[in-house]
Structure 1
Amino acid sequence: MKKSRQPTINDVAREAGVSKKTVSRVINRSPLLNEETRAKVEAVIARLGYVPNPQARALALRRNFLIGVVHDNPNAQTVLRVQRGILEVLRGTEFELVVRPVDRGSPTMLEDVRAFLERQRLFGVVLLPPISENDALAELCDSIGCRYVRMGSAQLDDPDHMVASNDREAVKEAVTYLIEMGHRHIGLVQGPHGFRSAMERRAGFEDALEAAGIPHPKSLVADGNYTFDSGFQAGVRLLDLLPRPTAIFCSNDEMAAGVLHVARQRGLDVPGDLSILGFDDTTLAAHIWPPLTTVRWPVSSMARSAALKLVGGLDGDAVEEPSMFLSTLIRRASVAPPRG
């Protein structure tokens, strides 16, 4: 008995009365389609029992259906939220996600990333901060024909290759809230040196104090590296000061949790004796006690947009996805007016 021929993308296009390019867009969930066309093509795919052949398509594209995330980020929560955002876009498509940590301090970082991209033949890659701030890395992706999108806390590239947040303005608004609550002696736990996010968030902090005419001595600034332990150590240093600050802004929630732990150890009431403000709005922020007032960083939305910029333009068409995302202040129970 002769085996029936498997339907092809040409069969689907002919039956639906559309081009192969349109069928490809439907398969890859491109946003560049109206719902009527999408529904018509999906109905034909279901009726014919067409199953795309990713190996054949990968050969035609000279790329695998893989989206990469390359990062050197000490905050595991950030990396996890980026993955979730990207996977929302990839669900139901032929694409899969691969994640590659790197060491930004290594003299062979660029060579290591090149080897990874060429070995995996990635369709595209999302670069996380702080390595996304490395122009040479973006130029490397471009030189080998790998699509890329850079995530960051400021505009680093043209809109097709960038998703960014307004960290400086968001932190200024958050610290202004502390000032409006009556705080004048405010500590800062800043992020790691070399991170653009740390620079932008410190600048927003300083903008708020300057606008209010509040001096800020260096003694009220402590270094951190976006981890709980660094927040704990920064909290020890700031809470050893006399007088100690009545409020502390931390450049991410992990460090804010570390400061809160020190305050608890010392018998301080939060927010009665000390107000604490974070940045990110990770799940941690709502689960600790008291729940943390923080700036919501829209990292999952940024990751979704980054993925759409990569896979939505599969057939070479530009995708209209936003490049700038606004962070917002989330008011919870860790901030109150200072005593007296």
Structure 2
Amino acid sequence: MKPVSPWGLGCAQLGNLYHAISDETAEATVRRAWDEGIRYFDTAPHYGLGLSERRLGAALGAYPREEFVLSTKIGRVLEPDPAGAAERDAQGFDVPAAFRRRWDFSRDGVLRSLADSLGRLGLDRVDLVYVHDPDDHFDDAVNGAFPALLELREQGVVGAIGAGMNRTAPLAEFVRRFDLDAVMVAGRYTLLDQPALDELLPLCEKRGVAVMAAGAFNGGILATAEPGATYDYATAPPELVEKAVRIAAVCARHGVELPQAALALPATHPAVASVVVGAHDPDQVSLNLRRSRTPVPEVLWTDLIAEGLLRPDAVVTCGGRP
């Protein structure tokens, strides 16, 4: 698999996640990420019903193809839905519902989804393809999607394959069953939640599977100095808000903002190849990278552990990434 940059740009926001942005803002966001040194970009058909792929492909067309790594996903095939064009998408993206998502982890579904993605991206290939959210389609993914992707990788159609989910146990099972290059784990190795340490991260480190750590802010609660109210795209339970407030207080004692620590934690594990963070505009890209490049004192981690706010095995190495 082509090496990825230590920080990646997650492109759900280019699909108008939560609120709309202009094409110009989307292009400027990718351009700022490039100027800041990011060379790994992740998207999916799910993000804005294809809008993220179209915008990302258009923006990356300005750069040499060999100089970046692009990943997209299979699992949701987009089908035209003219009747929905006057409605808005019901899955968090501010776009017309002119397409419907259909779950499909079959071999034919993989081939169709990938061909459609290449058409939207306007590129001749993608470097990494993930099986996306097969939570309720485990057998279909095992019998259809993964064998199809293994075949495509062997043929050189795609460079690398993997799986992307919010749950760690199925990801670990996929790593055991298949020769995967990478996994993307969202929201399960964060300041608030570290179940990826139970099995997934050690297994990936042992097998040489690259881990892309996404969802470092847990959907919003860790994205600001004062904890937010959204956890994993829903209202945060009171006990998690209370825990985040306590973590923020420890961070403040050491002159560290909560989002700075949230970005620093996943970068400490040797199995993590890239920490993938989204942005709605260029300034957000620069802010996140400035935070991520500011070192966090080791005593912060020891204090969080001492106060029972962080697992003792959570921090493997210290120091920031370039």
TM norm. shorter chain > 0.5: no
The normalised TM-score by structure 1 is: 0.27
Larger Rg: 1
